[in-house]
Amino acid sequence: MENRTPLVEMSNISISFGGIHAVDDASIDLFPGEVVALLGHNGAGKSTLIKILSGAYRRDAGTIRVNGEDVDISNPRDAKRYGIETIYQTLALADNVDAAANLFLGRELRTPWGTLDDVAMESETRKVMGRLNPRFQRFKEPVMKLSGGQRQSVAIARAIHFNARILIMDEPTAALGPQETAQVSELVLQLKNDGIGIFLISHDIHDVFDLADRVVVMKNGQVVGTARTGDVSQDEVLGMIILGKCPPGAVPGPGALKIAA
């Protein structure tokens, strides 16, 4: 994997708010078809780091590369231009309209006469859903009537229809039951098969081990360590989160607990 070009490389990223280092010299990367989970307590810096990638915050220091090229991401429009989309926990869907209207919200297709082209929008929605979630059939219903897993499908479909290659998923299975969680897991696997890279922010360690290829643990704004999920146990990852202790199977970062010999 190291011989390939990462979809994203964030190197030595720092940002401060009022003199407090929210993110301090953090480096992470993501490859095509890979899920990287970001873990840490509230305030560890993971959400702030990802908000820098999504254009919500502007970094004080460090570099961001997309497909090997330095990029400047100053706002969410810049992020979208580089194929970076965020699926927030709240999903940001318009509850009172159907899947197609949500997919094209703010980017509606129009007929030559200037009216909404509902037929074309539904056709495109069926195409992208057919690839992402073939079992989805509730195209005519307002999304408020859909299950949590189906709503995730709509939010993800909207991102990938507009050529996202890098997805940021914020707590994608929060408040979902086991069946819906399994549905989201299937969606993630489908995205991986399509070569899309995913940053997964989650508090659910079981979720992480089911879905992620690698974990990055942050504490006090710094990266404690990075590990492949097959090389560490759940208990070892908890030790990274709580104590900042980096196990043998992980690559330590600047935030790793320094243990005296």
The tokens for 87 are 């699926």
What is the value of pTM for the model shown? 0.88
Strand 222-228 and strand 251-252: pairing?
Answer: antiparallel
181 in a structural domain: yes
Q: Tell me the percentage of the chain whose pLDDT exceeds 90.
A: 62
Quote the number of domains for the chain.
Answer: 1
Q: Between the CA of residue 183 and those of 28, 92, 126, 244, what are the distances in Å? A: 28, 19, 18, 33
Q: Give the domain extent around 93.
A: 8-97+162-240
pLDDT digits (tens, 9 = 90+) for 183-231: 888 888 888 988 999 999 988 888 889 899 999 999 999 999 999 999 9
Q: What is the pLDDT of residue 260?
A: 41
* pLDDT-based confidence at residue 261 (cuts at 50, 70, 90): very low
126 in a structural domain: no
171 in a structural domain: yes
Q: What is the pLDDT of residue 122?
A: 93
3 in a structural domain: no
50-59, 94-103, 104-113, 178-187: range with lowest mean pLDDT: 178-187
210 in a structural domain: yes
The tokens for 232 are 């560490």
Q: Residue 125 pLDDT > 60, yes or no? A: yes
CATH of the domain at 45: 3.40.50.300
